[in-house]
A = this chain, B = another copy of it.
């Protein structure tokens, strides 16, 4: 029996309303802290081309750390397994911006989804492309089928002004020899990368190739081979939601990547990509209503990978 996705998304949208005021909007830059927490959007992009939406699915938001997923896909597509000599594949077991672990592990970040790892991935892209941030933007535009996607320059600037911890991380890795480009280049590019703005529909579409064994659903363009795509899915599950990955896998059971702007994109392999957005965060930095929405989604559709 076919699942009525529209009904399910509408129902979820209703259910999470009471939660919207309970999250805490990210406060470290004015552009994020000014966003009203009372917003919620959800969009599912099915591999057969159908799109279902509810709530503020067309509203743009700052995707932030979710870009780490696309940056990793681009670097992995170009460099293959070589990247794993510079970044690990294990959950961090520590807050996403910890310097201690990085120091104990000689400048090799735990995985590509913590900040340190994302800076290394950006560094890898910067060795490949004249402008890593532009190359990544074009890649995401292509994945999202949306040439109008762009950086938010005010967000990028604000992030840069408060990027002291990322500078600390980058310099520490530079000290260990695990950053090849100048620190300044990488931090600037990374701040622009994080500032990309998307809506739920665009985000679900952009990630859909990862639910489709590595090929873009609408035209079959191969981004990653099936095995590599499966492996990125595994990384999303074990490391995609900061140090709440274990809890997220337990509650939701889908590969996902979250961002501090309140977005989360998740995958039902072989079926669909789903994006949720709600700016209020829980204590682990993930969208409070977003996680709950995805938990309800897997319960209502029985679509966990487990």
Contact = CB atoms under 8 A, between A and B. Distances in A.
A214 to B, nearest CB: 11
Interface of A: 88-94, 98-104, 110-111, 164-165, 167-172, 174-175, 183, 226-227, 229-231, 233-235, 237-239, 243-247, 249-251, 253, 255, 269, 299, 302, 304-306
Contacts of A302: 226
A99 B168 contact: yes
A103 B302 CA distance: 38
Contacts of A92: 93
Given A90-B91, A91-B91, A234-B253, 12 more contacts: A91-B246, A93-B93, A99-B102, A99-B168, A165-B175, A226-B302, A230-B304, A230-B306, A235-B250, A237-B238, A237-B306, A239-B246
A164 B175 contact: yes
Nearest to A270: B306
B174 A164 contact: yes
A238 B239 CA distance: 9
Contacts of A243: 90
A88 B168 contact: no
Stoichiometry, copies per complex: 4
Contacts of A255: 306
B168 A89 contact: no
A103 B231 CA distance: 33
A249 B237 contact: yes
A210 to B, nearest CB: 9
A162 to B, nearest CB: 8
10 contacts: A90-B244, A93-B93, A98-B103, A100-B100, A164-B183, A167-B168, A168-B170, A230-B304, A237-B249, A238-B249
A73 to B, nearest CB: 14
A172 B99 contact: yes
A80 to B, nearest CB: 14
B234 A238 contact: no
A124 to B, nearest CB: 18
A58 to B, nearest CB: 30
Contacts of A172: 99, 164-165, 168
Nearest to A284: B90
Contacts of A234: 246, 249-250, 253, 304, 306
B175 A245 contact: no
A171 B164 contact: yes
